[in-house]
């Protein structure tokens, strides 16, 4: 199975309509904010780096990232949602896996409980904690959540533990991400909807909700300078 957005069925017409209307409703404010700031609507400023993800393979899942030990080369971008220098904010980590497991994953600061793993958590600038995919990835064996827990590092973590779980189920440690940061940002964009990791896809409902916002935001260049607003 490829990493393309294969889909797990379009679901009912009603859900399809909800997704389309919701996506259009979200697109307008995202586009306006991107134009106002002159850069990405969210996570406009960050730091980029490179890394390698090594995995302890479990039962075959069809997800290349979890079925092959690696090391899987990765490109990383850490950022805060608003991009403001001070105050509490949502921590974010964009991961572009390369090689056979290629695909994009976006993780954000959340809790780790059955419910709180789906809720965003605010953190101050130099505080780091668990990051999850917030919404599950679809796989041949069912929905799957990914989680990264910081292990080492001062300003930015230099390593994370990789954990996985099905919604409502316990987390299981499966690997480690080791990385090296640069002291600068990059203009690279990530597309977890259109380019998820090989063997996964985004459910049609979530794809319809998220895709329009990404599309309008991409109409404004990704300027790694502090936003105007």
Q: Which residue(s) pair with 100 in the sheet?
A: none
Count of the separate structural domains present in the chain: 1
**Residue at 16 is within a domain:** no
Strand partners, 139: 200
The DSSP output letter for 144 is: B
CATH of the domain at 123: 2.40.180.10
Owning domain of residue 118: 43-201
Residue 37 lies in a domain: no
Residue 28 lies inside a defined structural domain of this protein: no
Q: What is the dihedral of CA 162, 75, 95, 53, to 10 degrees?
A: -20
pLDDT tens, position by position, 66-113 = 999 999 999 999 988 876 677 898 899 999 999 999 999 999 999 999
In a domain, 13, yes or no: no
In this structure, is residue 78 part of a structural domain? yes
Residue 222 lies in a domain: no
- The band of 186, judged by pLDDT with boundaries at 50, 70 and 90, is confident
Q: Please indicate, yes or no, if residue 181 is contained in any of the structural domains.
A: yes
- pTM to 2 decimal places: 0.76
């Amino acid at each position: 199975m490829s990493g393309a957005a294969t889909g797990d069925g379009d679901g009912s017409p009603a859900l399809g309509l909800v997704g389309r209307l919701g996506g259009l409703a979200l697109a307008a404010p995202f586009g306006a904010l991107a134009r106002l700031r002159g850069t990405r609507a969210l996570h406009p400023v960050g730091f980029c780096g490179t890394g390698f993800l090594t995995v302890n393979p479990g039962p075959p899942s069809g997800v290349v990232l979890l079925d092959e030990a690696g090391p899987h080369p990765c490109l990383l971008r850490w950022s805060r949602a608003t991009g403001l220098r001070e105050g509490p904010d949502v921590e974010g980590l964009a991961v572009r896996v390369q090689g056979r497991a290629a695909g994009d994953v976006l993780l954000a600061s959340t809790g780790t409980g059955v419910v709180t793993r789906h809720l965003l958590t605010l953190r101050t600038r130099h505080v780091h904690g668990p990051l999850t995919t917030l919404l599950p990835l679809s796989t041949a064996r069912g929905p799957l959540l990914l989680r990264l827990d910081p292990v080492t590092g001062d300003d930015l973590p230099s390593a994370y533990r990789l954990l996985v779980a099905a919604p409502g189920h316990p987390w299981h440690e499966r690997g480690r991400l080791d990385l090296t940061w640069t002291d600068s940002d990059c203009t690279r964009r990530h597309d977890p909807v259109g380019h998820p990791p090989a063997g996964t896809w985004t459910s049609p409902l979530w794809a319809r909700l998220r895709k329009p916002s990404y599309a309008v935001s991409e109409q404004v260049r990704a300027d790694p300078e502090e936003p105007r607003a």
